[in-house]
């Protein structure tokens, strides 16, 4: 009877894993399933089952979960296009003020305006691209 409760717990934990997807609850489900097997074959007291569950779950969490996480994790998406330009440095070609200006960004010439409309950046200044607004690079010299 106790083994059946452990199997039920394993099923509930595995169902919870389907919602979270971080392999933690799945390791606990494996511990519960292993404990169900031990409970069915032996006549351990409840605290003995709890120790078996704790040992199996800890072994799975420390031994199996890191490998599963490495295998199935996806790297963060690499920004492409305009999103990849944010944070890059650019060289001012013509003075940048709130009305006009150009910068060389990744080998291309872009129109630019300063992040702070009161600032003016002289030709030759290195600036950082804060965002792209249409076809205009919004730049900042920084501290």
DSSP-derived letter for residue 115 is: S
pLDDT at 37: 94
For 63-107, the pLDDT digits (tens) are 999 999 988 888 878 888 888 999 999 999 999 999 999 999 999
Measured CA to CA, the distance from residue 73 to residue 18 in angstroms comes to 15
Confidence of residue 143 (pLDDT cuts 50, 70, 90): low
Q: Which domains does the chain have, with CATH numbers?
A: 2-72 (no CATH), 81-140 (2.40.50.140)
Is the pLDDT score of 142 beyond 80? Answer: no
Q: Is the Cβ–Cβ distance between 111 and 135 less than 8 Å?
A: yes
pLDDT at 79: 86
> Bigger pLDDT: 12 or 142?
12
For 128-137, the pLDDT digits (tens) are 999 999 999 9
Is the pLDDT score of 28 beyond 70? Answer: yes
pLDDT at 77: 85
Mean of per-residue pLDDT scores for the chain: 92
Q: Give the Å distances, CA to CA, from 28 to 5, 9, 22, 31.
A: 14, 9, 12, 5
């Amino acid at each position: 009877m106790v083994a059946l409760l452990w199997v039920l717990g394993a099923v509930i934990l595995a169902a919870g894993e389907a919602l979270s997807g971080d392999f933690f609850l799945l390791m606990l489900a494996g511990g519960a399933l292993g404990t169900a097997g031990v409970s069915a074959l032996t006549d351990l007291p409840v605290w003995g089952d709890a120790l078996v569950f704790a040992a199996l779950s800890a072994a799975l969490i420390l031994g199996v979960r890191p490998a599963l996480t490495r295998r199935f994790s996806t790297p963060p998406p690499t920004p492409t296009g305009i999103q990849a330009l944010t944070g890059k440095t650019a060289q001012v070609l013509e003075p940048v003020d709130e009305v006009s200006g150009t910068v060389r960004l990744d080998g291309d010439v872009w129109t630019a305006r300063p992040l702070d409309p009161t600032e003016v950046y002289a030709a030759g200044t290195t600036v950082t691209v804060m965002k792209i607004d249409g076809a205009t690079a919004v730049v900042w010299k920084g501290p």
